[in-house]
A and B are shown apart, each in its own frame.
Chain A
Amino acid sequence: MRATSLAFKENAAQALGDARLQKALVFTRPAFPSRRAAAVAQLPEFERLREIGRDIKDHTLANLDFYLETWAANAERAGGQVHWCGTADEARAAVLAICQRVGARTVTKGKSMISEELEINEHLERHGITPVETDLGEYILQLRREPPSHIIAPAFHLNREDWEESFRASHTDLPADRVFADRRAILAEARARLRARFLAADVGITGANFLIAETGSSVIVTNEGNGDLTQTLPRVHIVLASIEKVVPTLEDACTLLRLLARSATGQDMAVYNTFSTGTRRPGELDGPDEYHVVLIDNGRSNLLGSEFQPMLRCIRCAACLNHCPVYFTVGGHAYGWVYPGPMGAVLTPSLIGVDQAGHLPNASTFCGKCEAVCPVKIPLPDLMRHWREREFERRLTPPAARAGLRIWAWLARRPAAYRLVTRAVAWGLGRLGRRRGRFSSLPFAAGWTSGRDLPAPEGDTFFARYARERRAGRI
């Protein structure tokens, strides 16, 4: 996916003016947090499980080479083939080589964010192979040639009329004047369409939520069942998995599964948690003859050993997106690459460079909700702050902002000067604004006052008032 993260500000402005998008955001915003809260309230152990989940991932990352080698040996023992890929290019080539060797014409796909990183659909199309997205949300996005806007609810930015419009435009063999009585009718049309695709596909490509070192398995977590049909019906199953997906044992996976669905959709368990281990066994009536795992680094190993290593704990639940005031104001597309929201604001600069994605870690109010709901306790605001520091160090911040930051830093490190200046400013603004009580425009502060008024200070600073109250013995 070509990144437009550099244009985040323009993207965001456009998103704010997009009435359809805003309608979808307003419609969905309350649902995600309340579902998670209800599920968490039913599990008293949830907080403790978050700590354990964090520790499992930290332990795995510290021994990542060992667990990947163990996983690969076990996957191969079960008839699987592992393709180790350092870059997106290598991963694309590996997938294409498999598809071409087996003479694939159509490839069904389960939902996979790393496949967006690889732009695998475009790559297959360029080589005459038709990829078919089978997740309901991904299916309509493929019809509309749009990228997903959310990592687990890829098409939540669309309203029902968008679905109807796209289906009428794409399924032209059906009567144009057909009526979609309800959402179920839309779902039924997609189901019927895709059923034929599942049966005809030569290769099925899925992602992986986890790899299990102990057994050599890959795991997918879905609600629709499309991922299972994708990996069960065709002769060849290709799994796309990034290196940080591995966990040691089934018990480790159990703990993470307890966290994942609750954090994501507020379910205790997703409908289908499926563990795949190798090829069809002798005597089995179904399952693929070939099972490949394309194991992808694509920049992740650069995070190991850095302050950003905790980001590799992420299990892609989307709780941070679902609770983010910025995400729910501008939607996912504004972020300009595969991963939006707080996790994207940390991961995107890590994978495509802070020079490309420096706006994203700045697009945060630092309200801290993302960290508070993260099932593996990733300190997302801290990591965003680290990106801001790197951006500053690399002189990527605009000159005016750099100058402002430098002045502020000079003052912040000199308490006496800081108090003197803030006192003078508070006194001055207090006097100037005494009549109206607020300012609708101020020099150097247009960024604030163009959208809202600045309340006038009441003539005193916090420090001054604190000192006075202490002297008076009131605190």
Chain B
Amino acid sequence: MSKDAVLGAIRRGLGRGALPDHLTLGLRARLEQHPRHLIPARSRLPRPGQVALFVANVEKEYGSVVRVAGFDAVPAAIASYLTAQSLPSCFVLAPHPELQAIPWSACPLLRIRTGRAEATDLVSVQHGFAGVAETGTLMLPGTPDRPTTLNLLADTAIVVLRASRIAGALEDAWDRLRAEHQDRVTGGFMPRNVMLVTGPSRSADIESTLELGAHGPRRLHVVLVDDDPAAIG
């Protein structure tokens, strides 16, 4: 069966032929305007409140957050987190320029490999594109400098996120992607992969009881870089 046959069956069901141009124009306009629907009021807060809501929601979903004053403080924050969790001090790092510019040599004990994650990696450090306060969600687009495997393969996933990148609602985060990203293949904004991640991997398949660390990371840790003076409450 072909495309035409499937579309024909749909049109027979709907009791009409292909839509006339004046109607598809209206539908195209809806796609271009992509209107928002009702946005829950919970994330409509002043900046400090939005950041606090993001942190609270990440923690509610069994993730953890540490706030640091700047990128320079990231290596020490990660080193002390790894020590506290009794994890080895080596990790795989996203090849994102912002992460590559961090002065990692300040913590000489950290052993860092840059690239995609392999099955043997225990810890990964990813670059966060945006956070969503509404639900404590991280938006992680899969791009050459933000490999998707970093979100999935390691037991412990660490995400470095700037506080200025925390949006209120999910739609606000998509708007940032629409504005800032251009896909080289399609010319549109959508990358090959966008993961919205809310907490560490889990399953309730055994006796409807929640256990963390099903196939993805058992731990999700956000290092929040306070680059936004307005967000510090």
How far apart sit A252 and B198, CA to CA, in the bound complex (Å)?
Answer: 20
A86 and B5 within 8 A (CB): yes
Binding site for B on A (CB under 8 A): 24, 27-28, 31-32, 43-45, 48-49, 52, 56, 62-70, 72, 74, 77-79, 82, 84-87, 90, 134-137, 140, 153-156, 158-160, 163, 183-184, 186-187, 191, 194-195, 198-199, 213-217, 223-226, 228-229, 232-233, 243, 248-252, 254-255, 257-258, 265, 267-287, 295, 297, 301-306
Q: Which residues of A contact B137 (CB under 8 A)?
A: 269, 273
B149 and A286 within 8 A (CB): yes
How far apart sit A287 and B196, CA to CA, in the bound complex (Å)?
Answer: 16
A295 and B6 within 8 A (CB): yes
Among B133-167, those with CB < 8 Å from A are 134-137, 142-144, 147-149, 151-153
Q: Which residues of A contact B205 (CB under 8 A)?
A: 135-137, 140, 153-156, 224
Binding site for A on B (CB under 8 A): 1-3, 5-7, 9-15, 18-19, 23-24, 27, 30-31, 34-38, 40-42, 57, 61, 95, 115-116, 119, 134-137, 142-144, 147-149, 151-153, 169-171, 174, 183-186, 188, 190-209, 211, 213-217
A-B contact pairs, 20 of them (CB 8 A): A28-B207, A136-B214, A140-B205, A187-B206, A187-B211, A187-B214, A225-B215, A228-B216, A254-B37, A254-B174, A269-B196, A271-B216, A272-B196, A273-B198, A276-B193, A286-B142, A301-B13, A304-B10, A304-B13, A305-B15
B38 and A255 within 8 A (CB): yes
B206 and A275 within 8 A (CB): no
Q: Which residues of A contact B214 (CB under 8 A)?
A: 136, 187, 191, 223-226
CB distance from A458 to the nearest CB of B (A): 44
Q: Which residues of B contact A306 (CB under 8 A)?
A: 13
Pick from B171, B190, B203, B216: contact of A254, CB under 8 Å: B171
17 new A-B contacts at CB < 8 Å, known A191-B214, A272-B201? A64-B10, A68-B7, A74-B188, A84-B3, A155-B206, A186-B206, A223-B204, A225-B214, A249-B35, A251-B171, A269-B196, A270-B198, A274-B194, A275-B196, A281-B143, A287-B148, A304-B13
B24 and A66 within 8 A (CB): yes
B11 and A65 within 8 A (CB): yes
Instruction: Please report whether the interface of chain A is mostly helix, strand, loop or mixed according to DSSP.
Output: mixed
How far apart sit A137 and B143, CA to CA, in the bound complex (Å)?
Answer: 31
> Which residue of the partner chain B has the closest CB to A224?
B214
Q: Which residues of B contact A297 (CB under 8 A)?
A: 6, 9-10
CB distance from B84 to the nearest CB of A (A): 21
B216 and A62 within 8 A (CB): no
How far apart sit A243 and B13, CA to CA, in the bound complex (Å)?
Answer: 13
B27 and A271 within 8 A (CB): no
Instruction: Please report whether the interface of chain B is mostly helix, strand, loop or mixed according to DSSP.
Output: loop
CB distance from B112 to the nearest CB of A (A): 16
B170 and A257 within 8 A (CB): yes
Q: Which residues of A contact B147 (CB under 8 A)?
A: 284-286
Looking at A68, A265, A274, the one whose CB has the most chain B CB atoms below 10 A away is: A274
Pick from B153, B185, B196: contact of A273, CB under 8 Å: B196
What number of residue pairs across chains A and B have CB atoms under 8 A from each other? 289
> Which residue of the partner chain A has the closest CB to B132?
A269
B116 and A286 within 8 A (CB): yes
> Which residue of the partner chain A has the closest CB to B157?
A225
CB distance from A234 to the nearest CB of B (A): 12
Q: Which residues of B contact A233 (CB under 8 A)?
A: 149
How far apart sit A154 and B203, CA to CA, in the bound complex (Å)?
Answer: 12
B152 and A228 within 8 A (CB): yes
How far apart sit A214 and B36, CA to CA, in the bound complex (Å)?
Answer: 14
Q: Which residues of A contact B207 (CB under 8 A)?
A: 24, 27-28, 156, 158-160, 183
Q: Which residues of A contact B197 (CB under 8 A)?
A: 271-272
How far apart sit A247 and B11, CA to CA, in the bound complex (Å)?
Answer: 17
B174 and A250 within 8 A (CB): yes
CB distance from A33 to the nearest CB of B (A): 12
A84 and B2 within 8 A (CB): yes
- A252-B37 contact in complex given A272-B196, A279-B192, C-beta closer than 8 Å: yes
Pick from A31, A224, A267, A285: contact of B203, CB under 8 Å: A224
Pick from A135, A153, A163, A275: contact of B193, CB under 8 Å: A275
B208 and A27 within 8 A (CB): yes
Q: Which residues of A contact B1 (CB under 8 A)?
A: 84-87, 90
B174 and A228 within 8 A (CB): no
Pick from B5, B148, B201: contact of A286, CB under 8 Å: B148
> Which residue of the partner chain B has the closest CB to A304?
B13
B38 and A48 within 8 A (CB): yes
Pick from B19, B34, B153, B216: contact of A251, CB under 8 Å: B34
Q: Which residues of B contact A155 (CB under 8 A)?
A: 205-206
- A301-B201 contact in complex given A183-B211, A286-B142, A287-B193, C-beta closer than 8 Å: no
B215 and A274 within 8 A (CB): no
A77 and B186 within 8 A (CB): yes
How far apart sit A187 and B208, CA to CA, in the bound complex (Å)?
Answer: 13
How far apart sit A447 and B30, CA to CA, in the bound complex (Å)?
Answer: 55
- A228-B195 contact in complex given A78-B183, A250-B174, C-beta closer than 8 Å: yes
- A45-B38 contact in complex given A160-B207, A215-B188, C-beta closer than 8 Å: yes
Q: Which residues of A contact B57 (CB under 8 A)?
A: 268
> Which residue of the partner chain A has the closest CB to B32?
A214
A285 and B149 within 8 A (CB): yes
B195 and A274 within 8 A (CB): yes
Q: Which residues of A contact B194 (CB under 8 A)?
A: 274-275, 277
A191 and B42 within 8 A (CB): no
